[in-house]
Amino acid sequence: MPPFGESPDGIIEILDIVPRQGPGGIVAPSCDAAISLAVHEINSDTGILGREIRTTHIDGGRPPHEVAAEVGALLATGMVHAITGWHTSAVRRAVARANDGRVPYLYATANEGLTDELPGVLLLGEHPSGHTLPAVHWLQREHGIRRWALIGNDYIWPRETARAIRNSLADPNAIVLERFVPLGNQDFGGFLGEPALDRAEGVIILMVGNDVSRFNRQFAATGRSAAQLRVSPSADENVLLSGGIGANHNLYVPSSFFLDDKLVDSADRKARYRRRHGGFAPALTSFGNATYEAMHTLRGVAEAVGSLDVPSIHRALLDGVRYQIPGGTRGFRGNQVIQPGYIARANGVGFDIIDRIC
């Protein structure tokens, strides 16, 4: 935020919410560096609506009510123009209530696909129908997976995504084991020791950040990774690095974007990132990239609409507004961005794209 007494005229202030603690905190350095690149690129051009942008970073790793209280207090100053971030959907629901449609809120994490979002929320992360569900069906088709085990963190995104997966499967008995554990869970021995897990040919992991890497290490230590593949929509290069090469065998990940030179703007984006931050910066990962694109989406939508006014943005979305980001032209279906979906296989601490799934 501008210092007390400084005029905010000519500045667009953006609150960016990224976890700095808990299992999601593993992504914060990559997100911060990616946001810095986006802010530099936007301000080096014409800003947003001709105004310089600034970001204030909020710790999204705290309990949702604490994050929402801080956001609400900052919104009450009247000096906040937008919210972006990569954080859990539980935090999103609390922050959306605190925002109450006052400013656009661009949520860059995979979402659970519910239709009751409050005004102002724009969903930039992947919808289950273009992300997790096609990945599960692709693995069924290409690898003959018939029976699944599922483990998730115990909050809205994993539970609702698990429900969507169950409803999408032709065989109602295809999921032979399902468990939900708290965020930050340390020991997965109960799940890994379940006799029902032996019946599964694949494991769906609906957890966050370091919980995924911790699970992968414990899973690999059982020797199961040779015979049972895993799919996780919440793993990036940081998760692979944290888990270690030995934990990533037979792991598949769906995403709308990978840092792969075959994808539009990927090579140039990596080069710009390295010029900005140097060779020892945190990796530009798919999750960090999501926060980068959130900043550019805010600019693209604002320029296309001519305003950051929430009702004006929603009317434009209904009219099929299109906007530009460095990766090309994008649009929305309702409040959900339309984007491609890919599936990749972990290769050491990186990814190899295998196929387009959406």
pLDDT tens, 31-55?
999 999 999 999 999 999 999 999 9
Which pairing describes strands 105-107 and 82-85: parallel, antiparallel, or unpaired? parallel
Other CB atoms closer than 10 Å to residue 332's CB: what's the count?
Answer: 22
Query: Using CA of residue 112, residue 113, residue 115, residue 118, what is the dihedral sign?
Result: positive
Q: Average model confidence (pLDDT) for the chain?
A: 94
* Confidence tier at 258 by pLDDT (50, 70, 90): confident
Average pLDDT of span 255-272: 83
Judged by average pLDDT, the poorest of 59-68, 264-273, 295-304 is 264-273
Is the pLDDT at 137 greater than 80? The verdict is yes
For the whole model, what pTM was predicted?
0.94
Give the residue from 315, 336, 285 showing the smallest Cα distance to 30.
Answer: 285
Angle at 78 between CA 74 and CA 83, to 5 degrees: 55
The pLDDT value given to residue 119: 95
**Residue 7 pLDDT more than 50?**
no
